[in-house]
Amino acid sequence: MTTLRQLYDLQEADLEIDRLNALLVSLNKRLQDDSAVVSTRQTLAQRREALQQMRRLQARRTQDVGDLQAKAKDLETRLYGGGIRTIKEMEALQAEVKGQQEQARRIEDDELLALMVKLEEEEAWVERASEELAKMERERLALVEQLTAERSKLEAAFPGLKARRLEIANAFAPGILAQYERLRSAKQGRAMAKVEREMCNGCRITLPARDIQRARMAKDQPALCPSCGRMLFVG
């Protein structure tokens, strides 16, 4: 013969299964969520690419300076090599040498100097970010190992719980079990409410003495809380 105590035990088993399922859902979300690491990795990759572009630009502009200086040197060789015949030709070459030298200085002063400062800042940022990413990846790996172990522990608890639940449920007639399941679905998993200090602990309403007595005397057909409609159980 089944009792309300057994029905209450069934609810306790169901609630524990629900709790474990909720924990598993949460654990799986945390296991799948590596968005912080992915975001940091993507940002670092973008900054590394920007750094490489800056280095390429630095190399090109350094080459430009070298080319200008080499051209100026060649012009100076012509200028002082004795092959100049006229003052006009000499002045033109001097102006061209000066132009090449000034253009080289402008690149050095206006571009390469600022680029060097920016490169140093970017290299320092990339170095710090690389260290932070490595730390995040280590922490993520440790967290995954921890969460995986917790998940395995939770999953190991299910077979025993489900077997216990099935054993209790099989003792009930289909009618009372169906009523329990309907209430459980409608009441956020709590079909039954314990009567404590003359109150229904499902809705915290003080119960009339007749309802408490009816709940105490109930056998096959549980008494229901007049407020929340849950099955009442007097422990």
Strands 192-196 and 199-200: antiparallel
Whole-angstrom Cα distance, residue 42 to residue 52? 15
Q: pTM for the whole thing?
A: 0.74
Per-residue pLDDT in tens (0 to 9) along the chain, 235 residues? 468 889 999 999 999 999 999 999 999 999 999 999 999 999 999 999 999 999 999 999 999 999 999 999 998 888 788 777 888 888 888 899 999 999 999 999 999 999 999 999 999 999 999 999 999 999 999 999 999 999 999 999 999 999 999 999 999 989 999 999 999 999 999 999 999 999 999 999 999 999 999 999 887 788 999 999 999 999 7
